[in-house]
Amino acid sequence: MERATTDPVLFWWSPAERCVIPLDGLRITRSMRASARRYHIRVNTCFERVILGCAARESEENVWITPRFIEQYCELHALGWAHSVETFNDDGVLVGGLYGVRINKFFAGESMFHLASDASKVALMALVDIMRSARMTLLDAQWSTSHLVSLGGIPVPRADYLARLATAIAP
């Protein structure tokens, strides 16, 4: 893994493989469909609350969403680069969501959280629908985990990923 930085706290990682979720390959279970009917989706209405929800699930040994990180991503959000997809219950309570960065036809998912069953998965379903509608092409989920693979994520070698990325971010 290569690490490049000019900041002693924030790093950029370029792993040998990235996990991507093909927009036509998201696996939606019956329980996810049922959950989608129970929740309401909003976009970019409470970006900072979503990132704080993601930060709250981190352990003391694994803290990467720091106050500085939150501040910088909120600035990216204010500039129109970072976005959130939010899941609310019928009482209007934020129960899940995700955030990431969009560049042209590319969305880099940073993190997601849930306080209720399937709430983050419903946000992911909504993100994929939004991306399809906008004719986007690349959803980067970062690390390949068994959870992401169960949702349709696939590991992609660095060279293939970089080629897909170049196409997706091209004007």
- Ordered structural domains, the chain, with CATH: 15-169 (3.40.630.70)
Write down the number of H helices and E strands in the chain.
6, 9
pLDDT for 92: 97
- Residue where the block lists tokens 């849930």: 114
Residue 118 or residue 4, greater confidence: 118
Would the pTM of this model clear 0.85, i.e. be above it? yes
pLDDT for 66: 87
- CA-atom Rg of the chain in angstroms: 16
The answer to whether residue 4 scores a pLDDT higher than 50 is no
First-last CA distance in the chain: 29
> 104: left (phi > 0), else alpha (psi -120 to 50), else beta?
left
pLDDT for 12: 65
Question: pLDDT digit string (tens) for 82-127?
Answer: 999 999 999 999 999 999 999 999 999 999 999 999 999 999 999 9
- Can you tell me the mean pLDDT for 120-142? 97
Partner residues linked to 109 by β-bridges: 100
Question: pLDDT digit string (tens) for 16-68?
Answer: 899 999 999 999 999 999 999 999 999 999 999 999 999 997 665 567 788 99
